[in-house]
Structure 1
Amino acid sequence: MTDPAPAVRPARPHFSSGPCAKRPGWSPDNLPTDALGRSHRSKLGKSRLKEAIDRTRALLGVPDDYRIGIVPASDTGAVEMAMWSMLGPRPVDMLAWESFGEGWVTDAVKQLKLDARLLKAPYGEIADLAAVDPSHDVVFTWNGTTSGVRAPNADWISDDREGVVICDATSAIFAQALDWAKLDAVTYSWQKVLGGEGAHGVLILSPRAVERLESYTPEWPLPKIFRLTKGGKLNEAIFEGATINTPSMLCVEDYLDALKWAESLGGLEALHGRADANAKALHDWVEGADWIDFLCANPGIRSNTSVCLKIVDPDVAALDDADQRAFVKSMEKLLEEKGAAFDIGGYRDAPPGLRIWCGATVESADIEALGPWLDWAFAEAKSSLS
């Protein structure tokens, strides 16, 4: 017989890596409704979108000469827009150490058929950053949401680079320090560190990126939702709140609510501190558990948001891949039935294991309360092994 279930549950058992937990104290009653049912092109609608852009710039410390635009289709749409609009005039280094980075490789090689060089690493490790060629364009995912591996810094990106750097920063931004001078197209979605809603992306462009857009026309046709230029010049309206297609004004209000919450905490430094504290709380529990470990062994490149874990208990680790995944599923089911943790299974393409979101909208007390529940669920699931 296993030990009884822990007495204390996480107050908010939301540990999904996207959409992520809403901010503490969130309620739909906090969201203004005067822009709902109004055109996003009305004076009111455009002012809300412009406010979202302006607050984003202030919170993230985005340089004044960088453009910020709200674009369709979440982070995926923002990355695709940058790749399809900007890549082609020179070779590109594609960095991949998890599934989303692999997805951008597929775009570059199979869809756009670019002169691409792949720099790849297995789950839990990172690509050879020193091998990046400064004469090439670069595409990389700063924080591997499905591997728990992040870039340690941007020192490997040359100040004298000739190409543009496209950075998928969706599970890094607001939780990890980005070096804006090294990045030319930065993308993210609202649904990660700030706990916003899905389906909307943000694209941040440096002057170098704008120069590329205005001096280069891809040889392939671009769908309307990818078109960033008009008459050979950047469509500045996109970066002033005139979105390419219709956004959800309710989601815009929700994003504004999250930005204001972040400001009330003390801004970006406070968000970083919350994510770091959550990751430390999870680290402390892992250090005391003998059945689980980090998928990423190197603390210097380990994520503080999408923390990925592997089961190292010999009996479970000896199971084949399918049986290990079934074991994890049984743990998930137990925890969900008890209301102790939701959506903590590893990504479908990643090695079998758990993934715990530690972004800024999660409370450290809930991470601390989660640990004993994970121990309990593991013991329960293992007791059922034949």
Structure 2
Amino acid sequence: MTVLKPTSRPNDARFSCGPTKKRPGWELSALAAAPLGRTHRGGTPKARLAEAIERTGAILEIPDDYKVVITPASDTGAMEGAMWSMLGARGVDVLACDEFGGRWLIDARDELKPEGLTIHHAPYGQAPDYSKVDFKNDVVFTWNATAAGVRVTDGDWIKDDREGLTICDATSAAFAMGLPWDKLDVTTFSWQKCMGGEAQHGIAIFSPRARQRLREFRPSWPVPRLLQLFEAGEETAAIYEGSTINTPSLLCTEDYLDALKWAAKEGGVSALIARTQANFDALASWVEKTDWIDFLAQDPATRSTTSVTLKFSGKELEGKSEAERWAVSRRMGVLLDREEAAFDVIPHPKAPAGLRIWCGPTVDADDLVALGPWLDWAYQEALANPAD
């Protein structure tokens, strides 16, 4: 069956899984009030950083006894700061099912090497076996595996009477999925994911138990200054008021504030979760009626609603090698980019061939509805014309 080139494009073709699309209606003028050319240590700039911290906690509805800090180096800096500053007090369980969770696994296994390390690793498209976690240990895990399209369904598997800390990479989940704060001791994410902020800045949120660890424990390994979060153990630490570990970008801070203000106007985290679900539903409706594509995550309960990762399932590619399948992915990406119908929808390079489409809260569902016919067209074109 021949698929004609669609005549109607998405209003916004940005479906990248990070950095992601900015909030609807964003314009460069939103950053006009950024206090550029000033030190971040005092006056208006420091107040802006403190406001970013306050608004983050308010939008995410974190408990009053949890604390928020801004970290350097995006979610990577936040997660590695937590791991390097806090692990080593007891055994560690690390769960991973994609490239990014695999990075925390490598940090623990090959760099920190804590005693009593247990690894729970699952292949792309599958979730780790959470029932095997030992909560006498610290537990490091990813809420949403951005490169695999697999998410944690809920926090019921985390014990209330756990002895260790839970350290959660929530960078593709915060602001888009419900997070059970009572189950999370350290939660990290970046500005560039669900809120569409600029890159290189991260957030770490600490429970009282996590702050106690930071006060009372020092690991045996040296911790680079950039990863030192020990100050966050103090209840009145300046880091909670906008005194960052290193120099932040005030332009990026203004952009993050703009996104947080938009989130508040939308109705807070519940409204952002609802937007995300509507986006996922729009894309899922197309997947369900399309015979050449399917979700990489076969268990519907574990399918990400943000970084939706899809695999080829059509008979046209049966028996083809992974390299041949990837050639189709790349060709589709070129065609969609050329037509300005969709940008950045091929999967992470280490994931199986297919598509990866962002459905987070800054995307509009109408754009995902308009995207489906373009994907059908691009797939047909990629099969018929593998290269120009």
- Tell me if structure 1 keeps the 8 A contact 2:34–2:251: no
Q: How many residues align?
A: 386
Alpha-carbon separation, structure 1, partners of 2:314 and 2:178: 35
Q: Which residue is 2:75 aligned to?
A: 75
* Residue pairs, 1:1-386, within 5 angstroms: 2-114=2-114, 115-230=116-231, 233=234, 236-384=237-385
AA aligned opposite 1:329: R
Question: Where does the alignment leave 5 or more consecutive residues of structure 2 unmatched?
Answer: none
Q: Aligned to 1:282, what secondary structure does the other structure show?
A: helix
CA distance 1:162–1:54, change in 2 (3 Å)? same
Q: Aligned to 2:70, what secondary structure does the other structure show?
A: strand
Q: Deviation of residue 384 (structure 1)?
A: 2.4
Question: Where does the alignment leave 5 or more consecutive residues of structure 1 unmatched?
Answer: none
Give the % identical residues: 53
CA distance 1:290–1:85, change in 2 (3 Å)? same
Q: Deviation of residue 3 (structure 1)?
A: 3.3
- Tell me if structure 2 keeps the 8 A contact 1:228–1:235: no
Q: Aligned to 2:343, what secondary structure does the other structure show?
A: coil
Cα RMSD over matched residues? Answer: 1.5
Q: Deviation of residue 385 (structure 1)?
A: 5.3
User: What TM-score does the superposition give when structure 1 sets the normalisation length?
Assistant: 0.97
Alpha-carbon separation, structure 2, partners of 1:232 and 1:342: 42
CA distance 1:38–1:215, change in 2 (3 Å)? same
CA distance 1:271–1:34, change in 2 (3 Å)? closer
Q: Deviation of residue 2 (structure 1)?
A: 4.2
AA aligned opposite 1:65: D
User: Which has the larger displacement, 119-128 or 5-14?
Assistant: 119-128
- Tell me if structure 2 keeps the 8 A contact 1:2–1:380: no
Q: Aligned to 1:210, what secondary structure does the other structure show?
A: helix
CA distance 1:230–1:184, change in 2 (3 Å)? closer
Q: Deviation of residue 346 (structure 1)?
A: 0.5
Q: Deviation of residue 235 (structure 1)?
A: 7.7
Q: Deviation of residue 229 (structure 1)?
A: 2.4
User: What TM-score does the superposition give when structure 2 sets the normalisation length?
Assistant: 0.97
Alpha-carbon separation, structure 1, partners of 2:207 and 2:140: 15
Alpha-carbon separation, structure 1, partners of 2:319 and 2:367: 31
CA distance 1:163–1:316, change in 2 (3 Å)? same
AA aligned opposite 1:38: R
Q: Deviation of residue 377 (structure 1)?
A: 0.2
| CA displacement 1:95-149 (0-9 Å, x = unmatched) | 0111111110100010001231011111111111111111010000000000101
Alpha-carbon separation, structure 2, partners of 1:142 and 1:351: 20
| CA displacement 1:279-313 (0-9 Å, x = unmatched) | 00000000111100000111111110000000111
- Tell me if structure 2 keeps the 8 A contact 1:21–1:362: yes
- Tell me if structure 1 keeps the 8 A contact 2:212–2:233: no
Alpha-carbon separation, structure 2, partners of 1:324 and 1:232: 49
Moved over 6 A (4+): none
AA aligned opposite 1:278: N
AA aligned opposite 1:107: D
Q: Deviation of residue 320 (structure 1)?
A: 1.0
AA aligned opposite 1:93: D
Q: Aligned to 1:19, what secondary structure does the other structure show?
A: coil
- Tell me if structure 1 keeps the 8 A contact 2:191–2:256: yes
